[in-house]
Structure 1
Amino acid sequence: MTIDVTAERVVPLPPEQVAAYAMDWRHDAEWTQGIRTAELTREADGGGFGVGAEVTRTAHFLGRRIDYVLRVAAYNPPELLDMVSVAGPMPMHVTYTFDPHPDGTLARIRVRGGEGGFYRLAAPLLARQVRGNLVKDLRDLQARLVERR
């Protein structure tokens, strides 16, 4: 069984502002559930953050420490950041999109994961937990951005 979970929220700010914060790996631990640290461990081919860059994250999920590396597969600010895991306990694909909305920005996070060991056995619980975390992530993203205004 694979996991495919999406959460979305309308954030009352322009897409450029929401995406600039959310797509910056230096903010990952501030608004993303469970992430303790995030570090740019490989720059994009042209330098800095972009396609080919890799971010190493340390997180806690379901009581376990998880270390994983996400490689940027697509980067088109302010609309899209698409990342795939290249190291970690299970295959993972994380997509952030930010679309204009009459009330600001429709922010969406989609997480897809493959089967792997413990996670295969816990897939139904895992999907519920991921969805809950994504909902909280978007809530916290909005709170961070609104308080920074």
Structure 2
Amino acid sequence: MTIDVTAQRVLPLPPDRVAAYATDWRHDAEWTRGIRTAELTREAEGGGFGAGAEVTRTAYFLGRRIDYVLRVAAYEPGRLLDMVSVAGPFPMHVTYAFEPHPRGTLARIRVRGGEGGFYRLAAPLLSRQVRSSITKDLRSLEHRLTEQE
């Protein structure tokens, strides 16, 4: 993979609260800046959201519309959401992780992807753009959750 970017931020809230909001696909468009819509298009084997579920997102990145489907590879409520793209313009792997921190929650987003061709050539620019985007997402997440206090 040619892109591997991580951003993290300490949020002054309990991990369970941060993770519950951030891993609920119904909130994706509220705090994830590029996402316009998100829809649960396949439930997990046991029903609802969990490993095997799929979320279809419409996003805008660098001024372009991107439609893609992420399948939940691993889900540990309150701690981890790991997703891989199964449809879209390029391979993508997105991980949200939440850990207790003395000041609240250490929230981390990691994005990997973009193998081959154009993505290999554009990796430095795309990495900067992705890092900027997910850093802003974490700020937006904090703002959204502290506003609800």
Do both proteins adopt the same fold according to a TM-score greater than 0.5, normalized to the shorter chain?
Answer: yes
From the superposition, tell whether residues 102 and 144 of structure 1 become closer, same or farther in structure 2 (CA, over 3 Å): same
Residue 35 of structure 2 corresponds to 35
State the match for 2:134 in structure 1: 134
| 1:3 matched to 2:3 | yes
TM-score, normalisation: structure 1: 0.97
Is the 8 Å Cα contact of residues 19 and 77 (structure 2) preserved in structure 1? Answer: yes
Q: Quote the Cα distance in structure 2 between the aligned partners of 1:119 and 1:65.
A: 17
Q: How does 1:49-64 map to 2 (within 5 A)?
A: 49-64=49-64
Amino acid at match of 2:134: L
Distance in 1 between residues matched to 2:33 and 2:119, nearest whole Å: 18
SS at match of 2:47: coil
CA contact (8 A) 1:89 1:116 kept: no
Distance in 1 separating the partners of 2:57 and 2:121: 23
Are 2:136 and 1:144 aligned? no
After TM superposition, list the pairs within 5 Å mapping 1:77-116 onto structure 2.
Answer: 77-116=77-116
SS of 2:95's partner is strand
Distance verdict in 2 for CA 1:116–1:56, change over 3 Å: farther
CA distance in 2, matches of 1:52, 1:94: 15
Q: Is the 8 A contact 1:58 1:68 kept in 2?
A: yes
Report the equivalent of 2:22.
22
Paired residue type of 1:29: A
Which amino acid in 1 is paired with 2:142?
Q
SS at match of 1:122: helix
Could you tell me the TM-score, scaled by structure 2's length? 0.97
How many residue pairs get matched? 149
Q: Identity of counterpart residues, as a percentage?
A: 82
Root-mean-square deviation (Å): 1.0
**Conserved? CA contact 2:2–2:119, under 8 Å:** no
